A and B are shown apart, each in its own frame.
Chain A
C-alpha cells in the first residue's frame, strides 16, 4: 500500500514496452519513407531533381482534383505552386479581349484577374475560419487554388472554340463547357472543404465557394476576342 512515506512506490509496477527507446533525442521524428535522413543532402542533388520533385507533387495534386475524393493527403502537403501556375495561365488566357470604344469598359486586365482569384480565396478562407472551421489558412488557399483547374481547362476550350468562329453553336458549346467545369470545381472543392466545418454550418461555408467559381466562370464565358 502506498502512503505518504513511500511516495513513488507505485513505480515498481510500471511496465514499459521493450522496443520503446527510453533514451533518444527530442527532435520531431521524420517520415519513415524519406530516403535521406540528413536534410542537408538535398543541397547536393542536381537542380533538375529539385524541380522535378516539386512538379511531381503538383501533378499528383492535379490528379486528386480531377478525381476528387476525401483524402487527407492533399490537405497535409499543401503547396501554392499549383494555384500560382493556374492563376497566371488563366489571367494570360483572359488577355487579348475586345478593345472597347469608350476606353474603360472592357474585359478584366491581368491584375484584376489575379486580385479576384487571390483576394477571393483569402476572403473565403477567412470566412471559413471565422465560422469555426478546422482547416488551416494555407491548406484552404491550396485547395481553392487547385480547384480552378477545371475552369482553366474550360478557358482553353473556349479560346479554341472562338478561333473557329461558329456563332450560336459556338456560344452553346462554350456555355456547356463553362457550366460543366463550374460544377466540377465547386463539387471538388466542397468535397475537401465541407469536411472541416461543423455540421450545422456547412451550407454557410460552401455558398461563398459557389459564388467565387460562378464569378470566375462568368469571366471566362464573357470573354470575347478583339475583332
Chain B
C-alpha cells in the first residue's frame, strides 16, 4: 500500500470540478485503483476553503476581527454585512425606543453597518428638499405674482447639514468618550462605527416628520418636530447613558445636554431654512407699493 508520503500518490483535487464548469476545456479524470478518496489530513491542498472559513468564524465568535487594511475593498464590505430584516429591525428599534434597550447592545451586537446611516441620510436630504419645495408651492398656490421654481440649490445645503451632523458629531462624541475613558475606568466603550450607526439610525424618525411638514399648519409642524425630537433624543440618551454613568455628575449633565441641543439645532434649523413662514407675510407690502406708484402715473 502506498503511504501518504509517496509523492506519486494521486490525490483528488477539487479544482477539477471548477475546471469542468468552463465549457471550452476538456478535463480528463484519471481513475486510480488505490486512490484514497479522502484527503490526507497532513495537508489540505485545495480544500482549504472550508477550514480557514471555520477559523474565521471561530475568530469572529471570539470577538476579534482579522485586521484588513483599510485601502482594500474587503475592509468596507465588512460594514455592509447585513440582511434586509436586520436593517428593518434596526429602524424599528430607533423609532420606538424603550428605556431598557440600549440600541448598540440590542440591535447592533458588534455588527455596525454603514448601509443604514448612509441611505437614511440620503433619503432625509431628498425628503426635506422635496417637501420644502411642495410646501412653498402649496402656500403660494393662489397668488398671482408667484412663479414656481424647483429650488434645486437647496439640496446641496441640506446634504451638507445632515451629513456633517451624521459624521462630525459622532467623531466628537467618540473623541470625548476616549478622553474620558483615560480618566475613569469604564466598562462600556463604543467603537467609532457603532456611534456613527446610532446617529444614522436615530435620524430615521425624521423622515415621516419631514413628510408631515408639507401641510402648512404650524401646530402640525411643531407637533411633529416635538415628537421626532423626543424619540430621536431618547434613543441617543439611552444609548450613551451607560458610557457616561460613572462620570462626575456635571460631566454627565454637560454631555447629555450637548447631545440634545445639537439634535434640536439640526431639526429647528432645517425647518427654519426650508419651511420659512415668511411667505405668509409679503402681500400687504405689495399692495402698499402699488398704491404708492399709482398716483404718479396720473
The answer, among B2, B30, B85, B119, for a CB contact under 8 Å with A14, is B30
Asked if B83 CB lies within 8 Å of chain A CBs, one says yes
The reply to whether B32 and A107 contact each other, CB–CB distance below 8 Å, is: no
The reply to whether B149 and A98 contact each other, CB–CB distance below 8 Å, is: yes
Asked if B84 CB lies within 8 Å of chain A CBs, one says yes
| B interface residues, how many (CB within 8 angstroms) | 37
| CA gap between A211 and B120 in the complex, in Å | 11
Q: Can you pick out 20 interface pairs between chain A and chain B where the beta carbons lie within 8 Å of each other?
A: A1-B33, A2-B33, A4-B2, A10-B31, A11-B30, A16-B28, A17-B26, A29-B24, A97-B149, A100-B149, A127-B115, A127-B119, A130-B80, A132-B77, A203-B84, A211-B126, A222-B133, A224-B147, A224-B148, A224-B150
The reply to whether B6 and A4 contact each other, CB–CB distance below 8 Å, is: yes
Q: Is the interface of A mostly helix, strand, loop or mixed?
A: loop
Asked if B122 CB lies within 8 Å of chain A CBs, one says yes
Q: List 5 A-B pairs, minimum CB-CB distance, nearest first.
A: A203-B84, A7-B8, A130-B80, A222-B150, A200-B83
**Inside 8 A of A98's CB, which chain B residues have their CB?**
147-149
Known contacts A107-B152, A202-B84, A204-B82: A13-B26 contact under CB 8 Å: no
| CA gap between A50 and B30 in the complex, in Å | 49
B positions within 8 Å CB-CB of A:
2, 6, 8, 10, 24, 26, 28, 30-34, 73, 76-77, 79-80, 82-85, 87, 115, 119, 122-123, 126, 130, 133, 147-154
The reply to whether B84 and A224 contact each other, CB–CB distance below 8 Å, is: no
Contacts A14-B28, A208-B119, A215-B126 aside, 14 further interface pairs with beta carbons under 8 A come to: A3-B2, A10-B10, A16-B26, A97-B150, A98-B147, A108-B150, A112-B152, A127-B115, A131-B80, A203-B84, A204-B84, A219-B152, A222-B148, A224-B147
| CA gap between A201 and B149 in the complex, in Å | 38
| CA gap between A112 and B147 in the complex, in Å | 22
**Inside 8 A of B8's CB, which chain A residues have their CB?**
4, 7
Known contacts A20-B26, A127-B115, A204-B115: A2-B148 contact under CB 8 Å: no
Asked if A76 CB lies within 8 Å of chain B CBs, one says no
| A interface residues, how many (CB within 8 angstroms) | 44
**Inside 8 A of A4's CB, which chain B residues have their CB?**
2, 6, 8
The answer, among A101, A129, A207, A218, for a CB contact under 8 Å with B119, is A207
Closest to B147 in A: A98
The reply to whether A10 and B30 contact each other, CB–CB distance below 8 Å, is: yes
Closest to B29 in A: A14
Asked if A41 CB lies within 8 Å of chain B CBs, one says no
B159 to chain A, nearest CB (A): 12
Closest to A17 in B: B26
Asked if A182 CB lies within 8 Å of chain B CBs, one says no
**Inside 8 A of B147's CB, which chain A residues have their CB?**
98, 101, 224, 227
Asked if A36 CB lies within 8 Å of chain B CBs, one says no
A45 to chain B, nearest CB (A): 28
The reply to whether A1 and B34 contact each other, CB–CB distance below 8 Å, is: yes
A24 to chain B, nearest CB (A): 11
**Inside 8 A of A214's CB, which chain B residues have their CB?**
126
Closest to B145 in A: A101
**Inside 8 A of A1's CB, which chain B residues have their CB?**
33-34
**Inside 8 A of A105's CB, which chain B residues have their CB?**
149, 151-154
Known contacts A200-B84, A201-B84, A211-B123: A106-B149 contact under CB 8 Å: yes
| CA gap between A207 and B82 in the complex, in Å | 14
| CA gap between A222 and B126 in the complex, in Å | 14
**Inside 8 A of A23's CB, which chain B residues have their CB?**
none
